[in-house]
Structure 1
Amino acid sequence: MKQRIVWILLGFMVFMSSVVMAAPAENAAPGSRIKDLLAEWRKGDVKPATGNRLPGKVGLVWQPRLDDATDMSEAERIDCINVVSPCWFRISSEDGTMSHAALSPDKDYVKKAQKKGYKVWALVSNSFDPDMTHRLLANPAGMKRAIDEIMQAVKKYDLDGINLDFENIEEEDRDALSGFISRLGTELHKENKTFSVDVTFPGGSPNWSLCYDRGAIAAAADYVMVMAYDEHPGGSKYAGSVASIGWVENGVQAMLREVPAEKLVLGMPLYSRIWKESDGVVEDVETLWMEDADRLVREKKLARVWDADAGQYYFEYQKNGQLCRVWQENARSIALKASLISKYDLAGAALWRRGFETADVWPVLAAELENSQR
C-alpha cells in the first residue's frame, strides 16, 4: 500500500512539473523557468527585421514642452528638421506600466506635425530611476508589458517611430537592457516603425555610460542618438563647457568603434550654464538658454572671447561677490559641432531641446546637413 502511494505521489509531481514548465512566463513561479527566461532576455541576440531609416540625414529636435512659439505641430516648419520627438511617455513601474510624462500625448499633434512633413518619434524614458529599472529588467513579464504598451501607443497615436531614452541604469543590468532593446526593436520593425535609442559617450560612470552595450544597441536600432553634452554636468564641482569641440570629437571617434556611422546621430545642446564661483569653488550653477546668454552680454556690455579649444565664446562677470563664468553655445558653436556630421559621415543631428535656441541656429544647421549629403 505504501509503495502504491509513493508511486501515485511521484506521478503527481511529474505532472505538476510539466504544467509549471508549460505555463506562460508571466504566470510562472520563481524557479528554473524564470531563470531561463531571464537568461533569454539578457542575451540581446534576437535579430530585428529590416530597419526603417530615413532616405537622407536625420534632423531631429526633442520637444518636452509646448507653447505657441515652439510647438512643432503649429509653428512654421523648420526646413532642416525632419523628425520631432515629443517627450510623452515613461515606464513608471517594474511591472512595465507606461504613464504620461509632463507633456501629454496628442493625436492631433501627430497629424499636424506629419502634415508639415515631420516624422514623429515619441520619446519613452525609464523615469531615470535605477532601482525601478533594475526590477523591471529582472522581470520578464514586466518587460513584455512595457513593450506591449509601447506598441499600443504607436498604433493609437499613429507614430512613425519611438525614441527610447533609458538613463541612470545599474551597470549589472547592461545585458538585460540590450535584450529589452532588441525585442522592442523587433516589434517596432514588424510594424515598419523607426527605432532610435539615446546613449552617452563611452568611458563615463557605471550608471550613465558603462550600462550601455552600444554595439548591441546599434544592431537592434535604426539610429543611436549620442547625447554629446553635459561634459560638465549641472552637479560638477568644476566650471567648464557643456560640450567643447575636442570632447565632442573624441567622443564621436570612440562611438564609431562600436556604432556604424550610418546609424550614429550627433546630439547637440541648445543651452549653456552659468557657473557661479567663490574663491575658485563652484557654489551654484544655472542653465542658460541661448537668448538669455545673448541678453546677458547685451545688458552687461560684456566682452566675449572666442575660446578656440572649447569651440565656444567665453565670457564672465561679477555678481553678488561671485565670479559668473559662461562657455556659450550659439549658432557658431553649433555649426562647428555639426561639421563633424560631414567629417565622419554621420547619420544626422539631434538637438536638446526646442525652445532653448535662437533662430539663427537653424540656417547654420541646414547648411551643415546639406554639406554632409554632397
Structure 2
Amino acid sequence: MTRRRTVAGLAAALLVLAGSLVPGRAAADTAPRRIVNGWLPYWTMAESLTSVTGNADLWGEASPFWYRATGAATISAQAGAGDPAVVDALRSRGIKVVPTVTEALTAPAMAALLTAPAQRAAHVTALVDLVTTHGYDGIDLDYETMNTAGTATDKAAVRSGFVTLLRELKPALAAQGRLLSVTVGPRTRADDPNWAVFDYAGIGPSADRFRIMTYDYHWRGGSPGAVAPLPWVNTVLTYAVSAVTRDKIEIGLPLYGYDWPADPSQPDGYGTATSRNYQQAEALRLQYGAVRQWSGTDAAPWFTYTDTAGVPHVVWYNDADATTAKMTLVEKYGVRGLAFWAVGFEDVRQWPVLRSYAVQKSTELTVSAATAIVHGTTLTVSGRLTTTAGAAVSGHQVVLQWRRAGTTAWATVATGSSSSTGAVSLRYAPGANGAFRLSAPSSWAYLAAVSAPVTTIVRWCVSAALQHATVPRGATVRLTGKVAPVRAGTPVRRQRYADGAWTTVASTTVGSGGTYGFSFTWRTAGTYTYRVVVPGTSVNAAGYSAAVRLRVT
C-alpha cells in the first residue's frame, strides 16, 4: 500500500513555468483560508506546480517529493530537488516550502538506526542541515518503508524509536524556526495492526503537521473498490482526533484511482491494478463509452469497460464530487485541513468548490424587541441571521445578550439557533432597564455577527386595591398593594383624578416585603378615582397601578 513512484521526473519542463504561472484567486467575501496542503511529485513537477500556483490562495504549504534517506547521515536528492524556480514560484504566492523526505530502510534497518543514540543524533543533524542549507520552511517525513519486512519485534522497536527521533528532531527544527510535518499511515485504533509503526499519541506532541494518508483502502494489489471510502475515512479520523491535537491533523485526499483488469486465475477474479489519475480515468471512460457510476456510501465514482483484447475492467477513481464529499470533514472534525496526493492531473472542478468552502461568509443580524415592559414580563427578542447577500443562515447558534442601564458589560441570557429562514426568537425577563442585542459567533462557514442594540425600559410593577370599594362618610379607607422588584424604601405616591388631571395627594415608601399602604378618610359623599405611582429611577421606569374607584356614601 505504498505510494512510491519510480517514473523519471519532468524537471526540464519547469524551465517554461516562470512566465506562465497562474496567480492565486481571491474570493468575494474574504480571502479563503489556506486549508490545502499536499505533495508535488518530482516526476510530474511541471503539472503539479501549475496546479498549486493556479490555486495558491488555498494552499498554505507545499511538499515537493524531493529527498530520500538512505542511512542515518545520508539523504539523497531526487530529480530537480531544491529547484529555485519551484521554491520561488511557491514562496512568491505565500506558500511555505516543506519538502518531503522518504526513506529506504525497512523495519530491521530502521530499528537499528532508531535504537542507537549516535545514529539517531546523526539523522537529526542530517535532516536539520538539509532544511537550513536550502532555507526551507520545514520538512515532511514520509517514512513508509520502515513498515515493511522484519518481525513484530522490529516494528515495535521502530514504533518507539520513531517517537524518540521526533522528540529530538522537533526542538532542533524549532530552534531554527522550521516546521516538522509527519506523514502517517491510516489507523482506526491504538492497537490497529495496520501501520503499527506509527504511534499516533506518541507522534502528535512533536508534529506541527500530522498528515494521514486516508487512501489506498482498496489498492492495486487487492480487490476493486473505492480508494478512500467515506465510512472508513470517518473511522480513521474519529480515532485520530482522540489521539492527536485536532488543529495539527490534515486529511489525506487521493486525486487518483485504480483500474483493475479481470483475471479468473486470482481468488477475487481481478489482477493487479494500474494507477489512474482523474484525467486518465476520464479519458478511458470516454474512449470506451462507459457510464459513470456513483457510490453514495463510499462517496466515489466508478465505471466498467471491456478493453480491445476483450478483458473486462473496473475503475474506481476520484473526482470533484469525491473531494466535495470529503472536504466537509475538516469542519466536522475541527482539523487543520486537507493534504492532496497528488496534484497536477486532478478534476479541476474541485477548486471552485473548495474555494467557496474555505471562505467564511460575512453575516448580518437584525434585532427587534418591545421598547417598554412591566417588571416580571418575559420579553421576546426577535431577529434574523442572513449573509450580506440576504440569504438565510439556518441552524446557526445565536445568543441573546443583555446589558443593564448604566453598565458596559454584556451578559448572555439565552441561547438558540436560527431557523430555516434565518429567524431567531429568544425570551428573557429583565429585571431592570437595559439593552438587548443578538450575537452569532463565528463558525467554519460564517463570520461572527452582532446586531445593533435595542433599548427596553422595565417599569415598576405596581398593584393597588381598596380594602372596601364602598365606605360611609368618615370611615377609614385602606389602599394597599405591592411593588416589584422589591426595594425597601422606594417612594410610592397616591394620586387622585380630578378635573381631568392626576394629582399627588399622599406619599409613603415600600416596606421590606415590597408592600405599601395608605389610610385616609372622606367626609364628603361621592365617587373618587385613585392610582398609585412609583416614580422612575435609573434602574426602573415609572410604574402605575390600575385605577381604582372609591364610593363614599
TM range (shorter): 0.7 to 0.9
Alignment-derived partner of residue 255 in structure 1:
240
The Cα of 1:77 is off from its aligned counterpart by 4.8
Alignment-derived partner of residue 224 in structure 1:
210
Q: CA RMSD in A?
A: 2.4
Identify the range of structure 1 (161-170 vs 277-286) with the bigger mean alpha-carbon deviation: 277-286
Q: Report the count of equivalent residues.
A: 318
Alignment-derived partner of residue 304 in structure 1:
292
Structure 1, unaligned runs of 5 or more: 1-54
- Is 1:313 aligned to 2:298, yes or no? no
Identify the range of structure 1 (205-214 vs 334-343) with the bigger mean alpha-carbon deviation: 205-214
Partner AA of 2:337 in structure 1: G
The Cα of 1:68 is off from its aligned counterpart by 3.6
For residues 276 and 61 of structure 1, the distance between their equivalents in structure 2, rounded to whole angstroms, comes to 30
Q: Deviations over 1:244-273 (max 9, x none)?
A: 111111111111111121111101100000
The Cα of 1:373 is off from its aligned counterpart by 5.8
Alignment-derived partner of residue 115 in structure 2:
138
Contact 2:59/2:95 (8 A) holds in 1: yes
The Cα of 1:114 is off from its aligned counterpart by 0.7
- Is 1:283 aligned to 2:271, yes or no? yes
Structure-to-structure mapping, 1:333-372, within 5 angstroms: 333-370=322-359, 372=444
- Is 1:92 aligned to 2:70, yes or no? yes
The Cα of 1:74 is off from its aligned counterpart by 9.3
Q: Deviations over 1:121-161 (max 9, x none)?
A: 11112226333322211322221111112111211111111
Contact 1:276/1:325 (8 A) holds in 2: yes
Match of 1:71, SS?
A: helix
Q: 2:259 aligns with which of 256, 263, 274?
A: 274
Regions of 4+ moved over 4 Å: 72-75, 203-208
Alignment-derived partner of residue 322 in structure 1:
311
Would the alpha carbon gap of residues 358 and 239 (structure 1) be closer, same or farther in structure 2, given more than 3 Å must change?
Answer: same
Which structure shows the bigger proportion of residues in strand conformation? 2
Q: 1:71 aligns with which of 49, 54, 66?
A: 49
Greater Cα radius of gyration, structure 1 or 2: 2
Identity rate, percent: 25
Match of 2:180, SS?
A: strand
Contact 1:164/1:198 (8 A) holds in 2: yes
Q: Deviations over 1:16-57 (max 9, x none)?
A: xxxxxxxxxxxxxxxxxxxxxxxxxxxxxxxxxxxxxxx955
Structure with bigger RCO (C-alpha 8 Å, 6+ apart): 1
Partner AA of 2:210 in structure 1: V
Contact 1:107/1:157 (8 A) holds in 2: no
Contact 1:64/1:102 (8 A) holds in 2: no
Alignment-derived partner of residue 294 in structure 1:
282
For residues 353 and 61 of structure 1, the distance between their equivalents in structure 2, rounded to whole angstroms, comes to 7
Alignment-derived partner of residue 168 in structure 1:
145
Would the alpha carbon gap of residues 325 and 208 (structure 1) be closer, same or farther in structure 2, given more than 3 Å must change?
Answer: same
Match of 2:124, SS?
A: helix
For residues 86 and 256 of structure 2, the distance between their equivalents in structure 1, rounded to whole angstroms, comes to 25
The Cα of 1:206 is off from its aligned counterpart by 7.8
Structure 2, unaligned runs of 5 or more: 1-31, 147-154, 361-443, 447-553
Would the alpha carbon gap of residues 64 and 159 (structure 1) be closer, same or farther in structure 2, given more than 3 Å must change?
Answer: same
Q: Deviations over 1:157-211 (max 9, x none)?
A: 1111111111133233211110001111111111111111011222499885111
Contact 1:134/1:173 (8 A) holds in 2: yes
Contact 1:89/1:100 (8 A) holds in 2: yes
Contact 2:73/2:123 (8 A) holds in 1: yes
Match of 1:257, SS?
A: helix
Which structure shows the bigger proportion of residues in helix conformation? 1
Identify the range of structure 1 (270-279 vs 56-65) with the bigger mean alpha-carbon deviation: 56-65
Q: TM-score, normalised by structure 1?
A: 0.79
Match of 1:309, SS?
A: coil
The Cα of 1:220 is off from its aligned counterpart by 0.7
Contact 2:219/2:273 (8 A) holds in 1: no
For residues 92 and 62 of structure 1, the distance between their equivalents in structure 2, rounded to whole angstroms, comes to 20
Structure-to-structure mapping, 1:231-246, within 5 angstroms: 231-236=217-222, 238-246=223-231
